[in-house]
Copies of this chain bind each other. A is one copy, B any other.
């Protein structure tokens, strides 16, 4: 596997959301991450286009409304929304329909850095003057109204029948339970689902894994139900999230390797070395679930509001950004950064900044010691869903 190939964005997408960028994160490292994300977004755009081509065109009296759910605060969401609106503008043009006004909602949890996002937004073109051609030619401007919406996408976010297109990339594998929490039973010592000795469900016992699976399915169902209220007739939805190839949910694939090997071992190190108690470790769990395609399909069909145009599992590649694949130290750092960009804020909150630093040092060291396997084995798979509402 070529680590410089298709980089996958799961951890990096959330970087600005979850990781406070203080100390130890050079601009170059961030620039690298951004490039990987942008490349990935482009590589998936042909799939998104099929969805866009299926959306019913709105009448010119009402706006065409696009939503990015789990937008984070970087330039990727702006890039995607821009590409979506440019594509739709072309469709209106080709079909001879009058152009509607476009409106975009950027949504994420209230803890997201909306200030940064809003400052990255290009200024609005003069909607009232100028033609749509001028709007599109003005590269440093946006041709849509923009708003930020704070809230959990597992509940309602928008008025009924107000949205034409929902887009969500790399967010739906986060469990809800209000802002990324694992099921209660997983943290309950008296429960059979107690995840003793582990910080993720990869390789955990069946009861723990089933508690995750149950919550994932219930979350996805709530997500679909909420969207079905909000969507206009003829609207579409394009979703990308972590998936897995195995039928067995205790094999979490790429996420399993990211959180079930060096990261797990580093927690065990902290226990062994007397930094934290076993209980402290066992009360930490990564609230991520990589679903099988079958389970994902089953939830959509059982919920029943959406038709499935496309539902596939794609090989995404590695989340690691590595310039020198032979440099074990760099591979170690890349894995630790990947891990930290997803879980850093959660770890900080659980054991404090200093112990968190110790933990990720150990992740880095362990990954460096297994650089070759880490590079070869760490692979993400993505569920891509194109749904329509009729």
Contact = CB atoms under 8 A, between A and B. Distances in A.
Interface of A: 61-63, 101, 103, 105, 110-111, 113-115, 118-119, 121, 124, 126-128, 145-151, 155-162, 225-226, 229
A188 to B, nearest CB: 25
A105 B147 contact: yes
Contact of A118 (B61, B114, B119, B127): B114
A229 to B, nearest CB: 7
A161 B61 contact: yes
A197 to B, nearest CB: 35
A113 B115 contact: yes
B149 A146 contact: yes
Given A147-B149, A160-B63, A160-B101, A155 B114 contact: no
Q: Number of copies of this chain in the oligomer?
A: 2
A156 B124 contact: yes
A63 B115 contact: no
Given A147-B147, A159-B145, A162-B63, A118 B110 contact: yes
| Main DSSP-derived SS at the A contact region | loop
B148 A124 contact: no
Contacts of A229: 128
Contacts of A61: 160-161
A355 to B, nearest CB: 27
Given A150-B121, A150-B146, A159 B110 contact: no
Contacts of A113: 115
21 contacts: A63-B159, A63-B162, A101-B159, A101-B160, A103-B158, A114-B114, A114-B115, A114-B118, A114-B148, A121-B150, A124-B155, A128-B156, A128-B225, A128-B226, A128-B229, A145-B159, A146-B149, A146-B150, A147-B148, A148-B149, A148-B150
Contacts of A121: 110, 150
Contacts of A155: 124, 126
B150 A118 contact: yes
Contacts of A160: 61, 63, 101
